[in-house]
Structure 1
Amino acid sequence: MSDPLSGQDGDPAARVDQLVAQAKEKARRYRAMQAAVGQVSVTESSPDGLVSVTVDSAGNVTDLRITDKVKELSGAQVSAAVLTTLRRAQSRLPERLGEVMAETIGDDPQTMDTIIGNYRAKFPEPEEPAEPEPNVRKIGTVEDEQPPPPPPQPKPRPRPDDGDDDFGQSFMVRE
């Protein structure tokens, strides 16, 4: 095993100074990366231009713009457009952060892969939603509903059979 303090010239003090300088430079680059990542934002617009969403480096919404076209749509259509656009903006964060990190700590691929992997897990590519039917509101259909189960029927109580044919009348009858 090699001794990290033994340098080419054999001067341990010079090697310590070199390691300290490298550590300081690495710390400076990581602070620069942290500052640059803090400035990252991504803006995404819906294909129809109805919605525009901006998210910061943590995926939080910092700006939301909705056009007056929403007056022609149902609430479900508007909320679907907002959520889809938000998820698309968030899913672009790993790519954008990778660019910033490559500029600042590009010589540390393990750290970059870990951070970008965490962002990809947190903000995956959104699935494209099915096209909603325009101006159709589904309330429910008879075919979709199952009738409730019938109420339980009371079980008949067994009667003792003593041989008398009193046809279920009480034997305690006053005459």
Structure 2
Amino acid sequence: MLDDDQLATRNAELRGTLDNLMRELKDRTDGLRDAQAAIAAMSGVASSPDGNVVVTVDSTGVLDKLELGPRAFERVTPEQLSQTITQVARRAAQSVREQVNAHMAPLTSEEGVLDLPDIVPGAPSIKDIFKVEQRDEPAPPPPPSDEDFGSSVLRKEARPVQRAVSTDEDEDFGGNSIMGKGNRW
């Protein structure tokens, strides 16, 4: 059994450890807030080898801007162009993910960091709060072909478009045109 002096010493050590842990959490939280602001301003940019496709994504990897050069449609099929755009967009998203991870690395480093399970066995780890997940992008499904639909999804011949024409002019206004009212409303 511990005497009062030993208990007081042990209690002081535990308080010091908890104070250090709280200070570390506060520093990391402040760093996280600053990092979030910096990350929100980041973007990723990638272009095709010929420079005809340039994609810009925001910090979350969402398409922000797509630029197609004047020669983007020359000597390529729509399918080839869409594949190029997809590849360039993925590279732009990967670029911004790398920037985010590099910016977050100091906050996710585990070197010399005291954690709650070190003090209280079975407690959740504070380190997990600051981890940034890296996800793998699945390969896109191949674009549908004419065989998938039984025939071309585009019309092979143009058909005239018929529009419904009302013979009752101003039917909603009892024969009086709203345009003829002038300032009498």
Q: TM-score, normalised by structure 1?
A: 0.53
Whole-angstrom CA distance in 1 between matches of 2:24 and 2:68: 49
What amino acid does structure 2 have at the position aligned with 1:100? H
**CA displacement, residues 41-87 of structure 1 (integer Å, 9 cap, x when unaligned):** 11000111110001112110111111000241332222221111112
**SS in structure 1 opposite 2:98?**
helix
What amino acid does structure 2 have at the position aligned with 1:36? A
Whole-angstrom CA distance in 2 between matches of 1:95 and 1:115: 11
Gaps of 5+ in 2: 1-7, 112-126, 148-185
Q: Is the Cα contact below 8 Å between 1:98 and 1:116 reproduced in 2?
A: no
Whole-angstrom CA distance in 2 between matches of 1:34 and 1:7: 40
Whole-angstrom CA distance in 2 between matches of 1:79 and 1:115: 30
Q: Give the greater-gyration-radius structure (CA).
A: 1
Whole-angstrom CA distance in 1 between matches of 2:9 and 2:90: 51
- In the other structure, the counterpart of 2:51 is 49
Q: Which of 17, 20, 40 lines up with 1:38 in the alignment?
A: 40
Gaps of 5+ in 1: 1-5, 130-137, 141-175
- In the other structure, the counterpart of 1:115 is 132
Q: Is the Cα contact below 8 Å between 1:51 and 1:65 reproduced in 2?
A: yes
Q: Is the Cα contact below 8 Å between 2:58 and 2:64 reproduced in 1?
A: yes
What amino acid does structure 2 have at the position aligned with 1:57? S
Q: Which of 89, 94, 97 lines up with 2:97 in the alignment?
A: 94
**SS in structure 2 opposite 1:68?**
coil
Q: Which of 80, 93, 96 lines up with 1:77 in the alignment?
A: 80
How much does 1:91 deviate?
2.6
Q: Is the Cα contact below 8 Å between 1:44 and 1:88 reproduced in 2?
A: yes
Q: Is the Cα contact below 8 Å between 1:101 and 1:112 reproduced in 2?
A: no
How much does 1:98 deviate?
1.5
**CA displacement, residues 7-66 of structure 1 (integer Å, 9 cap, x when unaligned):** 789377666654443332121011122222222211000111110001112110111111
Percent same amino acid at aligned positions? Answer: 27
Whole-angstrom CA distance in 2 between matches of 1:79 and 1:36: 32
Q: Does 1:64 align with 2:66?
A: yes
What amino acid does structure 2 have at the position aligned with 1:90? A
Whole-angstrom CA distance in 2 between matches of 1:71 and 1:30: 44
Aligned residues: 121
Q: Is the Cα contact below 8 Å between 1:41 and 1:55 reproduced in 2?
A: yes
**CA displacement, residues 130-159 of structure 1 (integer Å, 9 cap, x when unaligned):** xxxxxxxx988xxxxxxxxxxxxxxxxxxx
